Amino acid sequence: MGQQGWTHWVHKRKWEMRLAVVVTLAVGILLGTLISDGVRAARDNPTPAGAQTLTVASPQQLSSIFAEVARKLEPTVVNINTESYRSTQRRRARPRQRIPWPFEDFFDFDSGRPQTERSLGSGVIVDPDGYILTNYHVVYGAGKIADRIRVGLYGENESYDAEVVGWDQETDLAVIKIDVGRKLPAATLGDSDAVQVGDWVLAIGSPFGLSATVTAGIISYKGRSGQRISGPSSQFQRFIQTDAAINRGNSGGPLVNLAGEVIGINTAIMSRNGVSAGVGFALPSSLAVRVYNQIVEHGRVVRGSIGIEFSSADSENKAILRSFGADHGVIINKVRPASPAEKAGLQVHDVITHVGGTPIHTGDELVEKVTSTPVGQEVKIRYLRDEKERVTTAVVEDFSKIYAERYEDSLTPERAQEASVELGLTLEEVSPAMARRSGLEEEDVGLLVAEVEPGSFADEIRMLRGDLILEVNRQRVLTLREFRAVQRKLGPGSDVVFWVMRRGRRNWVRLRLGGTLPE
C-alpha cells in the first residue's frame, strides 16, 4: 500500500470511530431516560399485593418493651427473708454434761442460745389478697419450715410477717400469704406451653438481697428434665432454661414474657461457683398453676401413682425397645410391693405402651398421664410381655402413700423431734466416718441423742445428751426411719426399753434404760 492509500485508510477509520462514539452516547442517553422513568414509575405505583417492605428494627423499640414490662411487674415481686432456729438449749436441773468427742460438734456449749439460719429469696404476688408463689427451698431452713418469714414489698421499707399456706417438695413450690389490710398488685400467669426457644424473657427478683433487680435473656430450652438438675428424685420437674441472669436470691421470683405475663418461677442455676453462668432454670407456669390451686384448695398436692420405677433412657434407645419387641413404650424396672401395679399383675421387664388409650413414648408422658389421673380412678394399661400384647387395669393411688418413706427420710432431727414428742428425744444419725473417729466399731453405731426434753419420758428414764441408742425394744435402730417404725408401734402404757452406749471416764459402757409410757 502506497503513502496515499495509507492516508486514505486512516482517515476513513477516524470517521468510523467518531460514528461509534456518537452512537454509544445516544444509546446511553436513551437507556438512562428509560431507567429514570422506570424508577419514577415504581415510586408512583403502590406496593404489589402481598409484598412487604423491609425495615430495620429500632433498638429503642425493644428497650421500651423491656422497660414497660419491668414497670408492670416490679410492684408484684417481693423479697423474702427467713429465719430458722436450731435449738441448743441445755437441760434444766442437771449439771453440764460432757459430750464425747467428736459428737460435741453437734452442740453449742458456749452460749446455749438457739442457732439462727437466715436465707433470702423472692416471690411473686398472684392474688390481690396477699397470696404469694415462691420456691419451697426459700421457706425451708434448718431442716424445717422457717420459724419466721418476712416479706418486703416493692417501694416500701416496712416488711410483713407471712404464714405458710402449703408446699410441694416434689416440684419445689410453696405458697405463703401476707395481710397488709389492702389489695395488692398481682401478676398475671401466662401460658408457658406457648413460649418458644428464642423468645425474649425477663427475670425479676432479689439476687444477693438486691430487690427489684431485672435481667434479660432468651428461652434457651424447653422441658429440661429435673433429674438432670435436682437429682433422680425430681421426676415431676420440667424446667424452662434461660440465659437471663439468675443468682442466689432470685429463687421464687418470676420469669416473664414480653407481654408482661409470668411464664415461670425461677428456681435453680447450673454453675461451678454459685454465680450465674448463663444457665438458669424456671419451673413453667403451667405446672405452678396446678400446684398452687391444689395447695390453696386442699392444703397439699395430691398426685396419682401406680407404683412402678423405670429409666427414661430406655425409652429413648430403639435397640433396647426392639429387644423387648416394642417400637415405643416405658420398660418397668421395679414394681413396688402392694402397689396398684403389682395388684394389676404388672412385672419387671413389661413394656407399657398405652395408658387410658393414650400412646406412651417417654417416661415424661407416663408420669404426666398417671399423675393427672384422679386418685381412686381406674386406668386401662396396655403392655408387652415376652413380645405379646396384654391389657390390665390399675386403680391410681396417692403417690405420697405409695412412697411414704421418701417423706419420712426427708425428716431432719427437728422434724423428727415433732414425731417423737411422746418420748421427748431429738436424734441425729451418726455417719460411719464419725463413728470411726470416735473409736466405735460398726456394730456399736447407733442414733445420737442430740437433745432430751426436760420432764419428758426420756428425761424420766435418765437418757442423756450424747448417748448412742443401739436398740429400742430389742430392735436395732441405725436410722431415723427405723426408729420411727418402732415408735409407731408404741402407745399409752407401752413398755419401752432402750439399749444405749454412754461414754464413761475411760471408755464406752452399755446400759439399758426403760420405763412405761404414761396412759
Give the N- to C-terminal CA distance of the chain in Å, as an integer: 146
Catalytic member of 251, 285, 339, 420: 251
Residue 133 is placed in which grid cell? Answer: 408463689
Q: Are 239 and 227 in contact (CB under 8 A)?
A: no
The helix or strand, by DSSP H or E, that contains position 82, with its residue range, turns out to be strand 77-86
**Total Cβ atoms within 10 A of residue 237:** 24
In 113-237, DSSP assigns E strands to 115-127, 131-135, 140-141, 144-145, 148-152, 159-168, 173-178, 200-205, 213-225
Closest CA to 84 of 414, 463, 317: 414
Give CA–CA dist 294/282, Å, rounded.
20
Annotated active-site residue 251? The verdict is yes
Catalytic member of 84, 122, 172, 285: 172
Residue 433 is placed in which grid cell? Answer: 466416718
- Burial of 171 per CB tally in 10 Å (0-12, 13-18, 19+): buried
Closest CA to 252 of 265, 268, 238: 265
For residue 476, give every residue at least 6 positions away whose Cβ sits within 8 Å of its Cβ, in sequence order, or none.
470, 482
- HSE (side-chain half, CA atoms, 13 Å) at 346: 34
Q: Are 432 and 417 in contact (CB under 8 A)?
A: no
- HSE (side-chain half, CA atoms, 13 Å) at 380: 6
Give CA–CA dist 101/99, Å, rounded.
6
Annotated active-site residue 172? The verdict is yes
Annotated active-site residue 159? The verdict is no
- Burial of 289 per CB tally in 10 Å (0-12, 13-18, 19+): middle
- Cα 513 from chain centroid (whole Å): 44
Residue 315 is placed in which grid cell? Answer: 425409652
Q: Are 112 and 120 in contact (CB under 8 A)?
A: no
Q: Are 189 and 199 in contact (CB under 8 A)?
A: no
Closest CA to 176 of 200, 198, 150, 210: 150
Residue 280 is placed in which grid cell? Answer: 438458669
Give CA–CA dist 163/84, Å, rounded.
14
- Burial of 422 per CB tally in 10 Å (0-12, 13-18, 19+): middle
Give CA–CA dist 258/17, Å, rounded.
69
Give CA–CA dist 296/233, Å, rounded.
25
Catalytic member of 84, 137, 230, 276: 137
**Residues labelled catalytic:** 137, 172, 251
